[in-house]
Amino acid sequence: MSSHIPATETATMLAITQARYGGSDVMRLGQVPRPVVRDGQVLIRVRAAGLDRGTEHLMTGKPYAVRLATGLRRPKNAVPGRDVAGTVAAVGAGVTRFVPGVEVYGVAPSAFAEYAVAGEEKLALMPAGLSFAQASVVPISAGTALQALTVARVSPGQSVLVTGASGGVGGYAVQLAVSLGAEVTGVCSRAKTDHVTAMGAHHVLDYTRDDWADGTRRYDLVLDVAGNPSARR
């Protein structure tokens, strides 16, 4: 089934754009061409867009190695954003899972705009009870955490350590590991210990005073979301 909204190849929309790498100071609101839905794609009317760590790297161009793929001097893609939640505006030929009007969430390039296009396989129906804002911060961070725990084959009774437990991926990793039956220890700053405890962590370590790698504790899995420790640690 396909559907079309009144649009042409030259239709425009509002979007957040960036002409150079940087933080929020380089973001500008402007008019850009509205994306056109093609075969196998879904056009989403964006209701909320999340900001994950990967998007932040693409926005700032740091670490500099990312620029080899995203543009050496300026972003190849002027509209940032990946996490998205919204309503289906139109679907391309071959799309069978969604119809115009349904609420979806997932991953769509250039999500910081009124409309975004995603492949059908990158979207799912939005869970009941979630707001658009809540749903828009789930796809990448939660998906990354779930993929890591799946690869690690976490099972009930295992001891799991999560560094960066108060962040996006870390927070989901804590909750998912607990739901899988693991005994979870979260590592975070002192200011975030109550937050990590509230997410279900059985133990919380303050990295400013507790050394999780001092040999006094053993873990079946260390999920290093923070990315700071050396491999030797």
So what's the pLDDT on residue 10? 66
Pairing of strands 123-125, 103-107: antiparallel
Residue 27 has phi, psi (to 5 degrees) of -80, 140
Q: Express each pLDDT in 172-219 by its tens digit.
A: 999 999 999 999 999 999 999 999 999 999 999 999 999 898 888 899
So what's the pLDDT on residue 226? 79
So what's the pLDDT on residue 81? 95
In order of their start, the domains of the chain are 12-137 (3.90.180.10), 141-224 (3.40.50.720)
Cα–Cα dist 124/94, whole Å: 16
So what's the pLDDT on residue 132? 98
**Nearest to residue 160, comparing CAs of 200, 193, 198?**
200
Residues whose CB falls within 8 Å of the CB of residue 125, separated by 6 or more in sequence, listed in order? 98, 102, 103, 104
Pairing of strands 221-224, 159-163: parallel
Rg (CA), the chain: 20
Dihedral angle of Cα 62, 66, 70, 73, to the nearest 10 degrees: 50
Q: Does the model's pTM come out above 0.75?
A: yes
Residue 64 carries which DSSP code? G
So what's the pLDDT on residue 1? 43
What residues of the chain score a pLDDT lower than 70? 1-10
